[in-house]
Amino acid sequence: MRLYLSLILLSLNLLLFSGDKNFVKYRCPLDIKNGYSSSFQEFRSNHFHSGMDFRTFQKTGYPVYAISDGYIYKMRMVKRGSGRGLYLKHNDGNSSIYFHLERFENSLEKILKKVQNIRKKRYFGNYILKIPLKVKQGDLIAYSGETGSGFPHLHLEIRDKDYYAINPFRLVNLPLKDKNFPVLKSIILRNRDDSLINGEIGETFINFEKVNNSLYVLEKPIVIDGVFDIVLKTYDIADTGKIVVPYKISVFIDNKHYFNLSLNRFKRDDNNQLGFVYDMFYSNSGSYFFNLFSQKGYELEEKKIPLNTIYKSIEYGKHKLKILVYDNYNNTSTGLITFYKVRKPAINISDINVIKNKIDFSIEKLNAGLSDKIEIIIYNNNDDKLYYGKLNYSNISEKKKFVLNGVFNDVSFLDFNFIKYGIIYFNKRFLLKEIGIDDINDIEFETYINRDEVFIKVKNFNLRSESLVLELIHGHEKKLIEPEFSTSQIYFRFKPLNSAHDVFLNFFILNNGIRVKEIKRELKLILLKPEEIKTYFNFGEFEAEFHTNAVYESKVMNIEEKEFDSKYPVLSKQISLYPYNFPFLDLVYYKFKKNTVNPKQVGIFRYNLFKKKWTYVYTTYNNINKTFATRVISSGIFALMRDIYSPEIFFIRPESRYLEKLKRLVIKITDKGKGVDDNSLKLFLNGKKNDCEYDPDRKWVKIEDLRYLKRGKNLIEVFIQDYAGNKSSRTFTFSLK
């Protein structure tokens, strides 16, 4: 009978926990109303945040309590990263992990000292307790701190029986309730195939307008004629007021649910899906851009429905895209996007006759039934508007003559603008005079790439109608590509013909269908496929090494040289590998081969296009091959540089001039290049060596052992070098009363 009642109670508890989202299983690890500063599965530069961070008001030493009954089986002591940590196995099969601790409770602290003595290391890594320490929920296990990376806070993780990281918010009783709604900032639309977005190709940024605390809309609808990828910039505001990542995002088209991402659970190997969830170019800690489209291998998204198939299948006309963003307290914000799916208009004209006060032409075919308005505009060669009118037809199936009256001097172009809801979604330009071939000596263009397609966007070329074609020569294959049109430019679209890296572009300028001029240009492309062998690319002293399954579907990269200012001596070409937004899912290395006198001083630097500065990235050196290498998970702009700058050392004015009141001294140490090598730090206080550490987050050395201070004149000597071997030393004197 007792067993039967126990089973009933257990079943009731499981039912409550699974059905009621407010059911609380674990206590909070801190007894202060501190709130949280980072949430689960936030973007980090190379991984998901696997827990939640509790704020500790920039202080250390708060008691940390076991959130559940169980036993502590492991402790951790590392210099960077997680710092000092404890691992608690729960009686229910889950585990909790506590990081950045200042110290453990007394019995664990004794074990720590013993391990340090035996291994003769302060930072010994992980240690499995020979006899696990049994604890009850609410037992004191440690004190919060600032060890490892970051400022004072407590990092809590919860792992299930399979050791997957799970979202702590629905399991832990938090002291504060969050009433802040998620914020929707903007969307990025990237066209694919032959589609146009508001008449353009490439990336289209559109900001949301806030209607109220939970509703966001776009000022104008979007007009599309094909498929596109959508990226959402959104964030939540924690109970502390800090920007954090939301909990869930759902996407609906015409009230049908097609995309769902819930940040609930992930395994360690899922970190390679960081670039599936987040856009790798625009995202950083505190700025989150979510990819709202399913991709091959994207296991964290639940619907697995490629949205491009939905855009293709829906009818032409008006549609509603709805985005719901939830936080961990179920506060929900809505983004409403009206979009019109249209068909590209078709128009053919002939018999153009230009007279001083009249232009006449015939429209042989017009199919633009979805347009609200069609504008007719005449421009001169400087794109000055000479005439504006409206076409009162949207469909013409038989040849029809039109006459435009006015005073026309130096006419050059006849434009037709097709408009939907006030947006020019398509433009067709016709030439009204002979081409000035001799004035065209080059073809300017920029390259846009989305997935496995390359778009050549021609710039400053007004002769857009049947005046330019492109011959693509790729390896041993050739292909003639006809121009396509956006509202502002002519462009060419193609997929690589093979895996050869050199692609030759022959632009032919036509006059009355005859090739009258040829302009040659060149691209270097890498075609990545989900293959079982490595892919290599060599570009002079630069090499890219892509391991197997670096991508799950075919992708294209464009390689070119750049030239940005640098305060460091540049030892190589500056290599741009574009696009910068898609991720690599397996090992990828960028390498520079260089024979240099002092390789320790040399490293690979990456250029930040937003901050307009170069930053060192972790670099390894192969002494046999004379090669510098860095592992990357997304692309960018890289170069090999020499770090010639020594660390800078500053003495921070003491908080008190009185010996009895002084509690610490602070030395500030900064480095511009490869970073401070804190293992090289030597500090002497009045000639006595002081055992203190460098904090790379605060960029300081905090001296708390003040026993060698004295009244009157005091002397501090600091010796340190950076990872490039550049040395610095400073001597400071100060007086105390």
d(CA 536, CA 523) in angstroms, rounded, equals: 17
pLDDT at 13 over 60: no
Residue type, 243: I
Query: 3-state class of 626 per DSSP?
Result: coil
**Angle subtended at Cα 622 by Cα 617 and Cα 625, rounded to the nearest 5 degrees:** 125
d(CA 576, CA 184) in angstroms, rounded, equals: 31
pLDDT at 490 over 70: yes
Report percent pLDDT > 90 for the chain.
Answer: 81
State the pLDDT at residue 426.
94
**What is the average pLDDT score of the chain?**
92
Exposure of 601 in the CB half-sphere (CA atoms within 13 A): 16
Burial grade of 519 (CB within 10 A; 0-12, 13-18, 19 or more): middle
Alpha-carbon 669 to chain mean position: 30
d(CA 574, CA 51) in angstroms, rounded, equals: 38
Say which residues have a Cβ less than 8 Å from residue 704's Cβ, sequence separation at least 6. Answer: 663, 664, 692
Say which residues have a Cβ less than 8 Å from residue 647's Cβ, sequence separation at least 6. Answer: 669, 670, 671, 676, 720, 721, 722, 726, 728
Query: What residue spans of 589-674 are helical by DSSP H?
Result: none
d(CA 488, CA 425) in angstroms, rounded, equals: 10
d(CA 394, CA 105) in angstroms, rounded, equals: 80
pLDDT at 427 over 60: yes
State the pLDDT at residue 24.
56
Mean pLDDT of 273-300: 93
Mean pLDDT of 33-49: 93
Span 659-678, pLDDT tens digits: 999 999 999 999 999 999 99
Q: How confident is the model at residue 4 (pLDDT cuts 50, 70, 90)?
A: very low
Span 568-580, pLDDT tens digits: 999 999 999 999 9
State the pLDDT at residue 679.
93
State the pLDDT at residue 7.
37
Please give the structure tokens belonging to residue 171.
């399991």
Span 433-456, pLDDT tens digits: 776 777 788 899 999 999 999 999
Say which residues have a Cβ less than 8 Å from residue 352's Cβ, sequence separation at least 6. Answer: 359, 360, 361, 414, 430, 432
Mean pLDDT of 491-518: 92
* DSSP track, 119-168: HT-S--EEEEEEEEEEE-TT-EEEEEB--SSSSSEEEEEEE-TT--EE-G
Higher pLDDT, residue 267 or 289: 289
Residues in the chain, total: 737
Report percent pLDDT > 70 for the chain.
Answer: 96
State the pLDDT at residue 435.
67
Please, what are the domains in the chain? 23-170 (2.70.70.10), 183-341 (2.70.50), 346-431 (2.60.40.2550), 437-526 (2.60.40.10), 529-642 (2.60.220.30), 648-736 (2.60.40.10)
State the pLDDT at residue 177.
85
Mean pLDDT of 36-59: 94
pLDDT at 11 over 50: no
State the pLDDT at residue 367.
95
State the pLDDT at residue 15.
36
Say which residues have a Cβ less than 8 Å from residue 113's Cβ, sequence separation at least 6. Answer: none
